[in-house]
A and B are shown apart, each in its own frame.
Chain A
Amino acid sequence: KAGVTQTPRYLIKTRGQQVTLSCSPISGHRSVSWYQQTPGQGLQFLFEYFSETQRNKGNFPGRFSGRQFSNSRSEMNVSTLELGDSALYLCASSLAEGGEETQYFGPGTRLLVL
C-alpha cells in the first residue's frame, strides 16, 4: 500500500503570498490531520478533517485553512504568508477519527518564506 504523499516537498515563497499544500492519504483512510513543525515551537496541531468536515482545530490564526475532498485528499492553504510560517508541514492519515487512532505521517512539505 502506498504511504501518505505530500506535494510539493519543498517550496519557497515571499511574504504576503499565499500557498496551497496537498496531501493524499493512504487508500481507505478517511481522516487527515495537518501539523506545523518548527525548531522553536515543535510539533503543533493545525486541524483534522474527516469525511470532508473539519473535526478539530488547533490554535492557529484564520490565515491557515484547509479542506478535504470526497476522495479524502486534503489541501491546506496559508494566506498572507509571514516569515514565521517557515516550517515543515506534516500531514497524517488514519482510518477513522478519534484520539486512539494510529496516524501515518507523510514526509512533509518544507516551506521557506523570504
Chain B
Amino acid sequence: AQSVTQLGSHVSVSEGALVLLRCNYSSSVPPYLFWYVQYPNQGLQLLLKYTTGATLVKGINGFEAEFKKSETSFHLTKPSAHMSDAAEYFCAVTMLTFGGGTRLMVKP
C-alpha cells in the first residue's frame, strides 16, 4: 500500500522568501514521486517528478525537490517566492495516491 502525507495544509511566506513544502511517503516498492500545482479553477500541472537516477530533481518555475530514501521524503523547495506561486500544491506517489495538498500563500 502507498500513502502520502503533506505536512501543513496552509503555508504562508513573504515574497522573496524560501518556499518549503513538505511531503513524506510510504511505499512498499521503489516510488515514483510527483509534485503538481493547481491554480484556481484549473487542473493540475506537473512541476517535477522523480523516477530513478539523480535524487535532486529540478522542475519548472524554479522549483526543485530532493528524494531522500532514508527519510522517505520528497520536499519541494524554491529559493525565492513570487506572488505568482500562490496556488495549491500536491505531492503524489505514482498516479494512484495523492497527498492532501498544501495551499501556498505569498505575502507582498
Q: Are A101 and B95 in contact (CB under 8 A)?
A: yes
Q: Are A43 and B98 in contact (CB under 8 A)?
A: yes
| Complex Cα–Cα for A111 and B32 (A) | 31
B interface size (C-beta, 8 A): 19
Flag the segment in A11-19, A65-73, A76-84, A102-110 that touches B.
A102-110
Which residues from chain B contact A90 at a C-beta distance below 8 Å? 43-44
Which residues from chain B contact A75 at a C-beta distance below 8 Å? none
Output the least CB separation between B24 and chain A (Å). Answer: 16
Which residue of A is nearest B99, CB measured? A42
Q: Are B90 and A43 in contact (CB under 8 A)?
A: yes
Output the least CB separation between B19 and chain A (Å). Answer: 21
Which residues from chain B contact A24 at a C-beta distance below 8 Å? none
The range of chain A's interface size is 20 to 34
Which residues from chain B contact A92 at a C-beta distance below 8 Å? 43-44, 95
Q: Given A48-B95, A99-B96: A107 and B32 within 8 A (CB)?
A: no
Cβ contacts A1-22/B at 8 Å (1 or 0 each): 0001000000000000000000
| Complex Cα–Cα for A101 and B64 (A) | 19
Q: Are A99 and B43 in contact (CB under 8 A)?
A: no
B42 contacts partner chain A, Cβ-Cβ < 8 Å: yes
Output the least CB separation between B34 and chain A (Å). Answer: 8
Q: Given A99-B32, A105-B43: A58 and B96 within 8 A (CB)?
A: yes
Which residues from chain B contact A100 at a C-beta distance below 8 Å? 32, 49, 51, 94
Which residues from chain A contact B90 at a C-beta distance below 8 Å? 43
Most buried by A among B36, B44, B100: B44
A45 contacts partner chain B, Cβ-Cβ < 8 Å: yes
| Complex Cα–Cα for A43 and B51 (A) | 21
Which residue of B is nearest A105, CB measured? B43
B97 contacts partner chain A, Cβ-Cβ < 8 Å: yes
Q: Are B41 and A103 in contact (CB under 8 A)?
A: no
Cβ contacts B11-55/A at 8 Å (1 or 0 each): 000000000000000000000100010000111111001010000
